[in-house]
Every structure is written in C-alpha cells, then in structure tokens.
C-alpha cells in the first residue's frame, strides 16, 4: 500500500505543478505570443480606437511587407541586384505610374538592362548573373496579382507568384515603391479616363483569401462601360472606387473587414483606420514619389537605391485634368474634395515626408546628384 500511496502523491504534485505552470504562463506570457493572432487582434472592434490619433502609425503587430526607407538608409540595406532583392511597384491608377513604370524598365543604368519586346509590351528584367526577376511590375511581370493590385493584394501574392514563376521558394527582400498624385487632379483624370470607356474590370479586389462580391463592390453603371458619363453622375455613385482611391489602395483593407467596410458599410471609424494604415504603409515603403515633383522623386529614388536613370524625369505642368479643373464651379471642386478627403490628408502627409527625405538624402550625399538643387 505504501508504494501506491507515494505514487498518488507524486501524481497529485505533478498535476498541481502543471496547473500552476498554466496559470503563470497565462499571466506572464507576452501579448504578442499568447493573445489572438495579429490579424485577429486588429480586427477586434476595439481596434477602431486607433482612429483616435489620426496620422499616427498603427501598432507594430501589423507585419511589415518589405524593407522601409529608414532601413535602406540607416542600416545600409542597399538594393542588391546580385542577391535576391525584389522591387515591387504598387501602381495606383492615374498617378503617372505608366511613365514611371517605363522609366524602370527602359531608362535605368544597369549592368544588364531590361530586355524589352515592343510587340508584347513586356520586358525581361533579370539579375546580372542569373535569370531571376528583380522587378515586379506591370511591364516586367505583368499583372500577376491582378490589374492594379493594391497593398492588400500584393503583400499576399507577390512571394507566391515569384516562387511559381521561378520554380522554387527563395528567401527574398522586398522593396515596395509607389507614386501618389494630388487627389483632385487624379480624380478628374480617372473621370476622363472612365468617360472614354475605361473600366478596369480585370481588377480582382482580393482580400483575406477571396475576391470581393458584387454586393460588396457594386457597379456604378449598366452595360459594358460608363462611356459618356457626366461629372455629376460620376460623383453621385456612392461606391465609386475613384473616391479616396489612393488611401484605399495603400491601406490594409483587412483592418476594416475588406470591401465590406470600405464601401457599403463605411463609417467615420473605418475611414480613420484606413487613413492611419495608409500613412503607416506609405512611410514604411522603401520609396514613393509624387507626380507633381518629378525631379525630387527621381532624386530620392536614385539616392535610395543607388541606381541612376539615364534620362531626367519630365514635369508636365499642363495636363488635361488641369484644364478640366479650371472649368469647374467652386461647388464642384468642393464636392470632389469632400469625396477625396482621406486622399487629401494622405497627400499632405506624403508631401511633407517626401520633402524631408529629399533634404536628408541631399545631406547624406552632399547634394552631388544632378537634381540636388531640388532638395536644398
């Protein structure tokens, strides 16, 4: 009987020790380990309290998709064409991305320039000593993550697509880049493009493992296109994707329930979360440029990546959207500004940040770049 009694005591002691360990682990365990997953925690209703401080970065629980500007400069993470670094271009409609995309594949001074085929409008941008891709963009890889894929789509797609394309899983460093444009001018440019018959029907609107439904992203028109639409009709559609397009395409849409929380069920809280997310993601990107400041944009790119363009960027001050804007009434301009209020704040944030980066790059390089006068 005595050995059995001792065994019971040992078992009881082990059970008590296990129970104590579970309680202690739950009490002392860090939130990032024991709490909900990153995405689940942010999706909680309380996550909307992030909106209390507009413009502040969201908590670090959101995974950063690639190397940031600060890391590239301060930690000497230079873009390395000979390694496994990939530049990912997030192309927002009507921001000058087509011209910039062509600069990337045709005008960079590289040891092994991109090989462009005019008939296919596609370029092979390979590393100097291998056939691995260093540029993920419309003109190099095509729309592999969907037509004008946004931040949410690209961060969930790029790695897998490159693995499939190259036939193997490789540990890569991603350098996200994008362009922004003054919101009223961009909106009017998109309006005129849609008026001519553009639709972007190939966009997937992918978020959290699925495409948005027709209920979540309703069409603003009947038929094949919105050709001939008037500006009043364009502004009147409550779920027009042109509204605040830049903020939406730079934000992590999962934070607000994807498209269900950005169009039909849009609230003040969800708007603030989107804006805060867009600002954070933009600031964390390795590079962004502004359409209205071509020389500054070129200078910051060249200093950030230590790559030079063979031709200078061209500043087009006279644009079709500018002529359209001049013909609008004050009430129409005010309405466009209201529809793009998030983009207006995002652009102000981006402009201020880019000017700081430009000045800082000039200080580091002693303004030796040909565009140095733009940043002094």
Q: Dihedrals φ, ψ of 286, to 5°?
A: -65, -30
Per-residue model confidence (pLDDT) at position 374: 64
Per-residue model confidence (pLDDT) at position 329: 96
Cα(217)–Cα(258) distance, integer angstroms: 11
Active-site residue flag, 74:
no
Per-residue model confidence (pLDDT) at position 47: 36
Instruction: Provide the sign of the torsion angle of the four alpha carbons 183, 187, 190, 196, taken in this order.
Output: negative
> What are 305's two structure tokens?
């990546």
Q: Dihedrals φ, ψ of 110, to 5°?
A: -120, 155
**Sequential pLDDT tens for the chain (376 residues):** 555 666 676 677 776 766 666 655 454 444 333 433 333 333 333 333 333 333 333 344 344 577 777 777 666 668 999 999 999 999 999 999 999 999 999 999 999 999 998 777 899 999 999 999 999 999 999 999 999 999 999 999 999 999 999 998 889 999 999 999 999 999 999 999 999 999 998 899 999 999 999 999 999 999 999 999 999 999 999 999 999 999 999 999 999 999 987 888 889 999 999 999 999 999 999 999 999 999 999 999 999 999 999 999 998 876 777 788 889 999 999 999 999 999 999 999 999 999 999 988 787 765 565 555 667 6
Widest pairwise Cα distance in the chain: 101
Contact 124, 115 (CB under 8 A): yes
The CA-atom distances, in angstroms, between 237 and each of 204, 230, 253, 287, 310 are 20, 11, 21, 33, 43
Per-residue model confidence (pLDDT) at position 220: 96
Per-residue model confidence (pLDDT) at position 156: 95
User: Three-state secondary structure along the chain?
Assistant: CHHHHHHHHHHHHHHHHHHHHHHHHHHHCCHHHHCCCHHHHHHCHHHHHHHHCCCCCCCCCCCCCCCCHHHHHHCCCCCCCCCCEEEEEECCCCCCHHHHHHHHHHCECCCCCCEEECCCCEEECECCCCCCECEECCCCCCCCCCCCCCHHHHHHHHHHHHHHHHCCCCCCEEEEEEEECCHHHHHHHHHHHHHCCCCCCCCCCEECCEECCCCCCCCCCCCCCCCCCCHHHHHHCCCCCCCCHHHHHHCCHHHHCHHHHCCCCCCHHHHHHHHHHHHHHHHHCCEEEECCCHHHHHHHHHHHHCCCECCCCCCCCCCHHHHHHHCCCHHHHHHHHHHCHHHHHHHHHHHHHHHHHHHHHHHHHCCCCCCHHHCC
Per-residue model confidence (pLDDT) at position 191: 97
Put residue 146 in one of left, alpha, beta given phi > 0 → left and psi -120 to 50 → alpha.
left
Q: Which of 91, 103, 148, 205 is catalytic?
A: 148
Length of the chain: 376
The CA-atom distances, in angstroms, between 112 and each of 50, 130, 274 are 46, 10, 40
Contact 196, 362 (CB under 8 A): no
């Amino acid at each position: 009987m005595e050995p059995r009694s001792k065994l019971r005591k040992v078992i009881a002691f082990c059970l008590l020790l296990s129970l104590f360990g579970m309680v202690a682990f739950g009490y002392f365990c860090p939130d990032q380990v024991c709490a909900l997953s990153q995405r689940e925690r942010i999706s909680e209703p309380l996550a909307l309290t992030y909106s209390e401080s507009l413009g502040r970065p969201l908590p670090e629980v959101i995974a950063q998709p690639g190397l940031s500007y600060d890391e590239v400069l301060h930690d000497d993470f230079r873009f390395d064409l000979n390694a496994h670094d990939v530049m990912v271009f997030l192309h927002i409609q009507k921001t000058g991305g087509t011209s910039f995309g062509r600069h990337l594949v045709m005008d960079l001074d590289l040891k092994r320039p991109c090989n462009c085929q005019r008939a296919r409008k596609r370029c092979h941008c390979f590393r100097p000593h291998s056939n691995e891709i260093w540029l993920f963009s419309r003109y190099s890889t095509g729309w592999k993550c969907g037509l004008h894929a946004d931040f949410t789509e690209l961060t969930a797609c790029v790695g897998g697509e490159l693995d499939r394309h190259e036939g193997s899983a490789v540990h890569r460093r991603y350098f996200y880049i994008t362009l922004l444009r003054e919101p009223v001018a961009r909106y009017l440019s998109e309006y005129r493009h849609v008026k001519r018959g553009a639709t972007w029907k190939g966009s997937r609107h992918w978020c959290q493992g699925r495409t948005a439904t027709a209920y979540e992203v309703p069409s603003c028109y009947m038929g094949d296109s919105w050709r001939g639409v008037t500006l009043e009709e364009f502004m009147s559609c409550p779920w027009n994707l042109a509204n605040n397009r830049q903020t939406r395409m730079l934000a992590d849409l999962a934070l607000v329930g994807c498209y269900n929380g950005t169009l039909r069920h849009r609230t003040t809280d969800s708007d603030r979360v989107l804006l805060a997310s867009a600002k954070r993601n933009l600031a964390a990107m390795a590079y962004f440029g502004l359409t209205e400041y071509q020389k500054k944009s070129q200078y910051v790119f060249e200093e950030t990546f230590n790559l030079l363009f063979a031709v200078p960027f061209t500043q087009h001050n006279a644009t079709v959207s500018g002529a359209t804007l001049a013909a609008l009434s004050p009430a129409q301009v005010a309405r466009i500004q209201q529809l793009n209020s998030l983009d207006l704040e995002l652009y102000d944030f981006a402009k201020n940040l880019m000017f700081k980066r430009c000045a800082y790059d000039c200080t580091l390089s002693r303004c030796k770049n040909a565009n140095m006068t733009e940043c002094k």
